[in-house]
């Protein structure tokens, strides 16, 4: 992998003030594939100053011109598709076919939606005797995780830039190389210096400095609820705007009349994708007691098709998890599930056969999971599915909502109206009805402890705007 030994600040690549570096490791073979600068508070300060200096001109740039730059950014990302996919596969361990379709493909789509929205959005509105101006919030500090490393960058950068904000990004330490590719695309797209800045570094160092910087008007964070809580407190104390995209433990509710085979197959695929490292994954499958045993059998059979393998091989459907630490965390949860009395029907805590090197986890399915069990309550972030039993629809609703999280979910029923009626009662931010398709314009974000704010589409754009009212 080609790594810059600099950070992209004020339109240029410069080394870290402190000179430290972070090694990037391939989770499939544990080999070091590159190193990036470890930014400090000093680097964050330089980046924030560049973003502040660039703000007035970018905020005053006509929306059509901002739209044109974001369109060029979209094209620059599209031109790098192969490099992006290969990079995400190398630093995250996602199967190359998934990297091509999702990790490289989705950011192009999302950037395209914001090129259009920047041009179409009504940035002014008449309300009685007022003219309401929708102005950029200012300088955005964006902190992103490793699980969808480029998507999560674009889901913040594209709307922030469309709104007229400038920004500083601190990407996850595990996946900084694709963030460098993004900065290259920004440069090629002709965004003015300082509008987008990249500081690689450690969360508690560079991330914390960014979230607490007085020159940052808004902090947009995606990651764990534990860190999100701290960032929210820090931002609250400084009266900054904050957006938090946090964890989930989403329910896949299969109502009695549903096409069981289809629902279970889609449910297993949803959990195994990206090695289960998806905040919106449907990690709790809820099945009526009459069809429970059949569903468990179907799930075990579907899981057998996810054989852990080399992510660089186009035939691989399940790669490793991102890091040794993540593997410890996931296998720890699998052990806890066994100890608490759930029935292991596929997988388990030991390394998959022939995959002792690399951070592989066996695709795992638990049956007889009850709502109090740890594996039904906590976000595991690995290829682990819990199947729970319900007695009737009210019971299914109670179990589905019995979570501190509320990010996503699915409902399957014999007819759509029944599924929609159930979905209306769920306390969660997104629900897919009978296998509904992903919509890049639909607001994405959490109820309860899954977060604050929404990303994507027009709702994601308004997160980066504030209003000023002129009265006549």
Residue 157 interacts with, from Mg ion, ligand NAP, none (CB under 5-8 Å by kind): none
- Residues between 198 and 237 with contacts to Mg ion, criterion CB under 5 A: 203
Residue 56 interacts with, from ligand NAP, Mg ion, none (CB under 5-8 Å by kind): none
Question: Considering 165, 173, 184, 279, which one is annotated as catalytic?
Answer: 279
Q: Which is nearer to ligand NAP, 145 or 164 (CB)?
A: 145
Decide if 245 is catalytic. Answer: yes
Q: Which of 416, 414, 415, 412 is nearest to 400 (CA)?
A: 412
- Residue at shortest CB range from Mg ion: 203
Decide if 165 is catalytic. Answer: no
Q: Are 186 and 196 within 8 A, CB to CB?
A: yes
CB 471, min distance to ligand NAP, A = 40
CB 227, min distance to Mg ion, A = 7
Distance CA 308, CA 296 (A): 21
CB 130, min distance to ligand NAP, A = 38
CB 206, min distance to ligand NAP, A = 8
Question: Considering 91, 173, 184, 245, which one is annotated as catalytic?
Answer: 245
Residues found in the chain = 472
DSSP state of 68: H
Mapped onto helix, strand or coil, the DSSP state of residue 285 is strand
Q: Are 93 and 26 within 8 A, CB to CB?
A: yes
Distance CA 379, CA 288 (A): 23
Residues at the contact surface with ligand NAP, assessed by CB under 6 A? 143-147, 170, 172-174, 202-204, 207-208, 211, 222-224, 227, 230-231, 245-247, 279, 326, 329, 379, 381
Q: Are 348 and 362 within 8 A, CB to CB?
A: yes
CB 111, min distance to ligand NAP, A = 19
Distance CA 228, CA 222 (A): 7
Q: Which is nearer to ligand NAP, 256 or 429 (CB)?
A: 429
Q: Which is nearer to Mg ion, 210 or 465 (CB)?
A: 210
Residue 327 interacts with, from Mg ion, ligand NAP, none (CB under 5-8 Å by kind): none
> DSSP letter string over 144-192?
--SSSHHHHHHHHHHHHHHHT-EEEEE--TTS-HHHHHHHHHHHHTTPP
Catalytic residues: 245, 279
């Amino acid at each position: 992998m080609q790594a810059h030994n600099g950070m992209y600040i004020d339109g240029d690549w410069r080394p870290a003030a402190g000179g430290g570096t972070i090694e990037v490791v391939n989770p499939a073979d544990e080999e070091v594939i590159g190193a990036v600068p470890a930014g400090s508070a000093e680097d964050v300060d330089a980046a924030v100053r560049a973003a502040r200096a660039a703000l007035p001109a970018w905020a005053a740039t006509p929306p059509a011109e901002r739209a044109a730059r974001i369109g060029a950014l979209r094209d620059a990302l599209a031109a790098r598709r192969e490099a992006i996919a290969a990079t995400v596969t190398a630093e995250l361990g996602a199967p190359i076919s998934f990297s091509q379709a999702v990790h490289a493909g989705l950011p192009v789509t999302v950037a395209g939606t914001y090129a259009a929205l920047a041009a179409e959005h009504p940035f002014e509105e008449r309300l009685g005797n007022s003219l309401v101006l929708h102005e950029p919030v200012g300088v955005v500090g964006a902190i992103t995780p490793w699980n969808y490393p480029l998507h999560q960058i674009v889901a913040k950068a594209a709307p922030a830039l469309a709104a007229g904000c400038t920004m500083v990004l601190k990407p996850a330490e595990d996946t900084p190389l694709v963030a460098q590719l993004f900065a290259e695309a920004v440069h090629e797209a002709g965004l003015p210096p300082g509008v987008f800045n990249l500081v690689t570094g450690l969360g508690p160092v560079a991330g914390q400095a960014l979230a607490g910087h007085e020159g940052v008007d808004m902090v947009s964070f995606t990651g764990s609820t534990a860190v999100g809580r701290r960032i929210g407190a820090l931002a609250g104390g400084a009266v900054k705007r904050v957006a938090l995209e946090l964890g989930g433990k989403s329910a896949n509710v299969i109502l009695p009349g549903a096409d069981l085979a289809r629902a279970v197959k889609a449910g297993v695929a949803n959990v195994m994708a990206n090695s289960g490292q998806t905040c919106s994954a449907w990690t709790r499958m809820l099945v009526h007691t009459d069809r429970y045993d059949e569903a468990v059998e179907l799930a075990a059979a579907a899981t057998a098709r996810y054989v852990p393998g080399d992510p660089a091989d186009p035939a691989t459907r399940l790669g490793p998890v991102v890091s040794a630490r993540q593997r410890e965390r996931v296998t720890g949860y699998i052990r806890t599930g066994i100890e608490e009395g759930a029935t292991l029907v596929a997988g388990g805590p030991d390394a998959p056969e022939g995959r002792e090197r690399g951070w592989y986890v066996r695709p795992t399915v638990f049956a007889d999971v009850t709502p109090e069990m740890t594996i039904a309550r906590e976000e595991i972030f690995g290829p682990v599915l819990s199947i729970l039993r319900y007695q009737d629809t009210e019971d299914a609703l109670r179990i589905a909502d019995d979570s501190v999280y509320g990010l996503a979910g699915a409902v399957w029923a014999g007819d759509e109206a029944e599924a929609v009626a159930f979905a209306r009662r769920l306390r969660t931010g997104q629900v897919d009805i009978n296998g509904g398709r992903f919509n890049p314009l639909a607001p994405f974000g959490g109820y309860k402890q899954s977060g604050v704010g929404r990303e994507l589409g027009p709702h994601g754009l308004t997160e980066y705007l504030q209003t000023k009212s002129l009265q006549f």
